[in-house]
A and B are shown apart, each in its own frame.
Chain A
Amino acid sequence: MKKLFKRFISNFELVFGISIILAFAVVAIAAPQIAPPTEGESPYYLPRDGYKGIPLPPNDAHPLGTLPRQYDVFYGLIWGTRIAFLVGLSITLGRTLIGGLLGLTSGYFGGFLDSLVMRITDTFMAIPAIAAAAILYALFGEIGQPMKASQFLLSSKNEQIVIIALIAFGWMQYARLLRANVLSEREKEYVQAAISIGSPKMRILFKHLLPNSIRGLLVLIASDIGAMVATVSVFYFIGLIGESPYGFLADWGLMLSASRDWIVSASSRPFEFWYTYAPASAAIVLFTVGWSMIGDGLRDVLDPRTR
């Protein structure tokens, strides 16, 4: 255990990744202090300062400038941290629950159930998640779906659709990994011993197999949290999730997509409107890379063979 801990802190990637994510967590927790919201308004929507269409460069009132239609970039960056954590964690949690349950049962019980679950997994694997989200959107999406004020995470019906699609069509790797781990754990002596003394099945499953098989899953979960934030941003960027009529949600992806027309500007100065897209992109990159470093580092620590 002590040795594992030592490997933990001597792993540069892991330490670096954890510090990045901790910094984001601090920002997320301290958001009301860093960027105080307007009284009486929902804090998850960007405050606007006028209605002018042209984004303004950084000035005294707006430390990082404004987006088109005068939404404050700095405010969005800070409160977007909370949304990023919520989006990333909820998608990976959903994937872990579905994939974990299926992988665990099919690995443990085997036989017909196993092959059935594996064929279903194959089927889902064949459908690219982006196409799945697109079809759910085309069939059930709506323009300007209003929402209740308490539902700050799932800003609009369209974002709910994307999140559901990413869960429903993204659990397969989890199931496969957990199944493979359970299969190899099941053959080990301690499990055989538990079976031979007549432990109940549920006890073997959840007390022995689950804790010992889940380690490899942590790597996947860690790098997925960041990747999902980037994926949801992609859906904003290609225009499959729009603004909710309720306001401009503090989401990095939405901020980036709002700046889409200002990236290649008509003027001769190429990076004139950098403040519309650079801060949000940097936040997405740091968040994703931070989680990936944690995932990569965890893999090295848990499985030092490939170092």
Chain B
Amino acid sequence: MLNYILRRLLILPLVMFLITSAIFLLLLQLPVERRAEVYIPSVNPHLTDAQYEELIQSTIERYGLNEPFYVQYSNWIVNLLQGDWGFSPTWKQPVLEGLLRRLPASIELGIFAMVPSILLAFVFGRLAAKRHNRTADYAVRSTAFIGWAMPNFIFGLIFMTVFYAWLNWFPAERMSTSVSLLVNSDNFRSYTGFLTIDGIMNGNYPVTGDALRHLMLPGLTLAVFQWALFVRIMRASLLEEFNQDYITTARSKGLSERMILEAHATRNAVLPMISSAGVAMSMLFGNVIVVEVLFNFNGIGRWAIESIQRFDAPVAIGFILLSSAISLAASLGADILYAVADPRVTID
């Protein structure tokens, strides 16, 4: 068990090396002046253009951007490890700072969508499998098919036109203007970066309420897809378990259907859900980016896309590094959880 986790962890550096070198190979295709931006840690925003030009030139000198590949690569990696992720020419701000400041909002949105959708998928997947080929099954199946097959951003558009533009039940963006004034003032301490939790910790419940209202539409959009994905997996794997011999044995022993479902089949059927959680998380991440842009939600996705539209190379690189790290962590977590849940898993 421990051995498995260790071996799984040992692959990480290799994968990280492959990712960074692939990114670096891409980066090398750029002209040297644009490449220099990736190395600048921070800069005085009031520089004149001539001074900025000079800074670029000195950066080229200092990091040896005209030297061979391996020298440049190792310089870059050392920079990354020290937290110098480059300087965004678009926002006049260090990339890492910009990303980390907006990361909590995106994580908050992801969790807000993920947790209820998994729980509901569990409930409805079991319901559909229990009532296989009856009305409840057909209802769950077709709803899940629509949620899975329809493009997620179209759901976002529908929710936006209906619940925001028409009924005006829930707002877009991350917070109201009044709340944003309060949150950025000195009276409000940011503990976690999650607005909902910070609101409670500051004893300021209207902030939490406002944050929840703003999470509603983007969260719902994301949850629809996640739910559909997991419900389909849960139902299919439960049905597969029902065909196994051990269920027949349990039936012939005279166990009640409820007992069979709860004590035997569900436990095994959860495994495919765990093993697909890594891929699902990485899909969720992609959807979060789109939904943030759609609802003007101030997270890393929207920030990155806005900079990338202006061909901001340092932000693009920081963004891909951070997102690969997140998705690696997610798949690692899923693998470990799988090994914990299924004692049959051995090395490889």
What CA separation (Å) do A136 and B161 show in the bound complex? Answer: 32
Indicate whether A156 reaches chain B with its CB closer than 8 angstroms. no
Number of interface residues of A (CB under 8 A): 47
Q: How far is the CA of A5 from the CA of B15 in the complex (A)?
A: 45
For B145, what are the chain A residues with a Cβ–Cβ distance below 8 Å? 292-293, 296
Closest Cβ–Cβ distance, residue B261 to chain A (whole Å): 17
Selected from B22, B150, B313, the residue in CB contact (under 8 A) with A123 is B22
- Report whether A126 and B285 are in contact in the complex, using a CB–CB cutoff of 8 Å: no
Cβ contact of B157, chosen from A127, A263, A307, cutoff 8 A = A263
Q: Which of A132, A239, A270, A277 contacts B320 (CB 8 A)?
A: A132
Q: Which residues from B are CB-within-8-Å of A149? A: none
Beta-carbon nearest neighbor of A281 in chain B: B154
Q: Contact mask A202-213 → B, CB, 8 Å, 1/0? A: 000000000000
A281 touches B327 (CB 8 A): no
Distance from A119 Cβ to chain B, minimum over Cβ atoms (Å) = 6
- Contact size range, B: 35 or more
- Do residues A139 and B320 form an inter-chain contact, with CB atoms below 8 A? no
Interface residue? B311 (CB, 8 A): yes
Interface string of A126-168 (1 = CB under 8 A from B): 1111111011111111000000000000000000000000000
A285's contact among B151, B309, B317, B327, by CB below 8 Å, is which?
A: B151
- Docked complex Cα distance between A136 and B319 (Å): 12
A123 to B150, CA, bound (A): 28
Q: Which of the residues B148, B153, B282, B307 comes within 8 Å of A237, measured between beta carbons?
A: B153
Given A139-B30, A284-B151: A306 touches B239 (CB 8 Å cut-off): yes
Q: When the two chains form their complex, are residues B239 and A263 in contact, meaning their CB atoms are under 8 A apart?
A: no
CA distance A293 to B289 in the complex (A): 27
Main DSSP-derived SS at the A contact region: helix
B81 at the interface (CB under 8 A from A): no
Distance, CA A270 to CA B289, complexed state (A): 26
Measured between beta carbons, the chain B residues less than 8 angstroms from A217 are none
Contact A128 B286 (CB under 8 A): yes
**How far apart sit A74 and B309, CA to CA, in the bound complex (Å)?**
29
Proximity bits, A230-272, B CB within 8 Å = 1, else 0: 1001100111100000000000000000000001110000110
Q: How far is the CA of A296 from the CA of B236 in the complex (A)?
A: 12
B282 and A264 form a contact (CB under 8 A) = no
CB proximity of B143 to chain A, nearest CB, Å: 13
A residues whose Cβ falls under 8 Å from a Cβ of B:
119-120, 122-123, 125-132, 134-141, 223, 226-227, 230, 233-234, 237-240, 263-265, 270-271, 277, 281, 284-285, 288-289, 292-293, 296, 305-307
Query: Which 7 A-B residue pairings sit nearest by Cβ, starting from the closest?
Result: A138-B316, A292-B149, A230-B151, A270-B166, A123-B18, A264-B165, A135-B316
